[in-house]
Structure 1
Amino acid sequence: MIYTKPRGLIYILRQDYYIRPPGKTQYRVFLYLFLGGTDMKHVGLYIRVSTEEQTENYSIPEQRERLENFCKAKDWLVVDEYIDGGYSGAKLDRPAVQKMITDAGTGTIDTVLVWKLDRLSRSQKDMLYLIEDVFIPNSVDFVSLNESLDTGTAFGRAMIGILSAFAQLEREQIKERTMMGRIARAKSGLVMGPTAPYGYRYVDGQLIVDEYEASIVREIYDLYLQGYGMEKVSNMLYEKMQLTSASGYAAVRRILSRPTYAGLVHYSGEVYPGQHEKIIDVDMWKRVQEKREHSRNYQRGKRQKHLLTGMIYCKRCGAKYAYHVHSGNNYYDRYMCYSVCRSRKELIKDPHCDNTKYLAAELEQLIIAQIKELALDESKFNKVIQKRIEAPDPTQAMQKQIKEIDKQINNFMDLYQYGKVPVETINERIEKLTQEKSAIEKSIRELNIKPIPKREDYEPTLSRVDSIFETGSADEQRAAVRNLIDHIDIDGENVVIHWVFE
């Protein structure tokens, strides 16, 4: 005997189940006794149709009829129907699907039957979630008529493994295509992201400069190159940028780090020329990045209370110099190698180091005098950068290779015009040459050749040296030092300043 209708039977079964929980085992025992010992599957029919699919083959009555006929042929008991009318199969946030998931967990059903796989879900990811994370853990079989898929059989379970493999392959391919699309977009000079960076507006999909915000961006770069820290800059431009106290520092840091303002596009570690108008020149952007890399950021500078802390290195053992406070008179405060003072064991490089200790006031005045001399004597600045000017260009040989590759590509294009070489051969050779050229260009970018500095780049600080060290605050003095000096080496009586523009 096959019990699929009337609904009264289902109601009686449900009523007994809910009166006498708990769950699956007792429910099955009741059905088994009620049906005279027949071992039936307890099936939930899932039926879905979207608004656009209201055709004869996809209609709810048509799906129900086919599923019920299959249950009769298999001697299965239909316990419930889960019908989502007018819902898309793209997502699982459908009321009938959610009820079916709940019933699968409570043991109300032990089989889910659908007409086609896409009735349950059009997403492989969601389909596998239902089968592997909902049905299988709750001992619920899944059957699809159209695809002859039954997870209750060995073949059906094997098919799930194949579906999982194809789903993983599809995810990897989507990821790869997305990555390739983004790289192609970056190479074409288009900026990523739905929101335009500060200083720009999107107009018809193109980045257009917002003149008011662009003037603030330029001011941020100018102030930072003058030696002001990011937090100080954000405080100075607080009202202009309409910042909140929480976003000021982060906004300035984001602006200073973005190559977009120099007319460049950055993606996946590579930088490409952009199609948009630049707000600052490339040299200014590079100088800011150098300053961010070599100088100490604001937070670290805030912890350093003294003028030269964090900047002095022992030439003998390689350790940093510490500021050692004298307990009685601060005149006797000293800068000394960490290996000598041994105040922090983790910073000791050589416990036998005997490098010279310097009175803090004397060493600081020595460094300030060198900075003032640099500000007054332009020839000293020129002498420092002359080494950079005379140094051989490490990219010269690579630039020569690029010119040779361009010449070969042009030759192949001429052969194509004359029809002397098959097109396939030409395309293959040109593609290979293009790959070689891209690899060389990447190597040049990785060398990160710094532009030759100009004195006017540091003029905002050099022109204010006297006033900074006579009446300026401690923060302003530290900022000026870090804007001009990369680090200081000490070897006995020899104190060597390494300028940031060397």
Structure 2
Amino acid sequence: MASPASQDIKSIGIWIRVSTEDQVRGESPEHHEQRARAYAELKGWHVAEVYRLDAVSGKSVMAHPIAKRMLTDIRTGAITGLVFSKLARLARNTKELLEFAEVFRACNADMISLAESIDTSTPAGRLFFTMIAAMAQWEREEIADRVKASIPIRAKLGKPIGGAAPYGYRWRDKKLEVDTEAAPVRVLAYELFAEHQRKKTVARILNERGYRTRNGASFSDGAVGRMIEDPTAKGLYRANYTTVGESGAGWQLKPEDEWIWTPVEPIVSEELWERCNGLLAARATGRRPAKKTSYLFAGFAVCECGAKMYVPARRGKYVCAACLNKIPVDDLETLYRSELADFLLSPEEMSAHHAAANEMLREKELLIDAAESELKKIVGSENELFDLYHAGALNKVDFGRRHKPLSERRAQIEDELPRLEAERDVLKIGMLSRDEVLEDAKDLSDKWPDLPWEHRRQIVETITDRIVIGKEGVEIILLQVPFGNDDELATKPLGPRFRGDERY
């Protein structure tokens, strides 16, 4: 896996699944990848992985090895977001889509679906996770009702309706309930593993404190691992998921569509469960969880020489490694807060922002339509040339002379289309989030000191393109606040120059 230039840059994966039927319709995996890469580039993200499933049906993908690898990377923090062309490309199975989304939400990772304009790294996009959580709760309740209804039938057929209760739980009246004596020990195991990150250490501490397994034995690292991996602790009891292997050779997992899930009372938070299982997965793959961005303008602060600026340990200043230009962290935030308040309180700026953003989006749509129309004509002309050549109406030299400019122009358009689509995607998603943020931000300057760091970072990510730090001052540039008719994503500097060399 490639490493980002800095841990402050968001690392994302690209998910590409194009079925055989999609390929027949002319949908190119390369086009989907180029569009996603262009989107990531415009957002300033690092593409760490590409997960490509060629000619794979969307009916069920979660058990696919590549999907499992992607989820491991999410849990370990190797990537903190996934870009895909549309939700149906991730999973057409609603149940699997809900499961994917719940893992992403619990791991604080983002889902970016370009066709639906969903980017959960933005305020507007986070509504998607709220909807998914509601749908998942409904799904769990439906599963519980179905399982409950099946119990009498399973009993008549002589099939088991339960098994040994997981540690921390007990069976009562054929229902799984929390064991008030053992549950605190299991919670402690998760907390210890989150702290020490070693199963042997957790087992040793539990044994030293006098805790024992259900049958009175000492805890082993294997027992600790199985306890941490068991999803019952986060509220989902799994049954009918194993079977005896051929010739009695050990236990094997059944296909996931045969598993029976029953909602139960959780004893640890989903976030703690996912974090511990992410650590387990990281140890299994030899990867370390990625560091989280810890400075408000990380990834946005740029030196006037063009290099990114970062905060070295215990320095308290954004520093350019290339030319040693620097500015204190607190000074930059004070300037940003002041200038942002001036912009948000200006009706003229707000009106110009909305009008220009809509105009730019319209221009991008027109460019895309024109490119697609031209590409269609070129393909038609190429087909006519091939027909003439095969009919003997054109010799090889004439065919090559007439086909070469068509081929070159088609290649240009096929390279340009993904970039245009990505710029449109960024505009559409950004407009949704900016409208929400700006509407709520009229008194932002007063509320700013009381906002949680995560909320301030969300605002910066939503409306900031870059902050250029110069020797003589600072230029704050908002994301896609266009002025003029340039085909590029034009921006207008926000606020005056910042002076005060003694603070550098």
Instruction: Provide TM-score, normalisation by structure 1.
Output: 0.34
TM (norm. structure 2) is: 0.34
* Higher RCO (C-alpha under 8 Å, 6+ residues apart): 2
Q: Which has the larger radius of gyration?
A: 1
